[in-house]
Amino acid sequence: MDTFIFDLYNTLIDIRTEERRKSTWTPVVEYFAAHGIVRVDERTLYADYGRYWKLFLERAEAEGVYRYPECDAVAVFESMARAAGGRLTREQAAEALGIMRRASMVRMRLFDGTMELLNKLKRSGAKLYLLSNAQAAFTYGEIDVFGLTEYLDGILLSSECGCRKPDKAFFEMLFDKYDIDKASAVMVGDDMENDIRGAENFGIRGVWADGGAAAHRDELSELASGQSGVRQ
């Protein structure tokens, strides 16, 4: 294999967030108030976030364009502002989303050995891509913070595409955009349904990276070197 397609969160980046806690939404309440939106509290914002996320997905599912549609969280925050009797521009809604994201963070770090793995694969001549169910408004910044961008030959995020793994259409977008050969590609991810079964249904191999991709560096190195007998 000379093409490795990675999931991001809990595959390369070890992450835990908590969106339910009050402290996650307190700075968002303050941001809304600073923009003239005062009829909100933490409980209302959390409830509206879930409500509008569900409504957006239901609408997309009814349209039937994709089997697994994705939500745009920035648009959700715009709707939350309108529901509170105010208005945020798309840029302001993205800023509010980023504030929530940072406040929700319990843990975010690279898995030990991630950089060593990526370096080894790049030295072998492999191409590395990212296919992630993630929100572009904050994910690109998090990729940059950990120095991953320079290792990646291409990135595709679900919020920009309108669909998410395990949708075949999402895989197809990546392969079409970067002219990837299925025969040379493997998907590496921690989610058995989205990453592994999604990859297999699309027609490529999947490596289940439970505990992070770096924990499976021997398997991935063997794939990069063309050796057989590697577990999936």
Q: Where are the domains of the chain?
A: 3-14+111-225, 17-106
CATH topology of domain 3-14+111-225: Rossmann fold (3.40.50)
Q: Quick one: CA dihedral 227, 228, 229, 231, positive or negative?
A: positive
Check residue 72 and give left, alpha or beta (phi > 0: left; psi -120 to 50: alpha): beta
> What confidence category does residue 231 fall into, taking pLDDT thresholds of 50, 70 and 90?
very low
Alpha-carbon distance of 120 to 229, in angstroms, equals 20
Q: For the residues 163-182, what does the mean pLDDT come to?
A: 98
Q: Is the pLDDT of residue 230 over 90?
A: no
Give the residue from 128, 169, 175, 172 showing the smallest Cα distance to 150: 128
pLDDT tens-digit series, residues 47-105: 999 999 999 999 999 999 999 999 999 999 999 999 999 999 999 999 999 999 999 99
Query: Half-sphere exposure of residue 57, counting CA atoms within 13 Å on the CB side?
Result: 16
> Are the C-beta atoms of 189 and 177 separated by less than 8 Å?
no
Tokens of residue 27, six digits: 């700075």
Extended strands (E) in 83-213: 105-110, 127-132, 154-157, 185-189, 205-208
Strands 154-157 and 3-6: unpaired
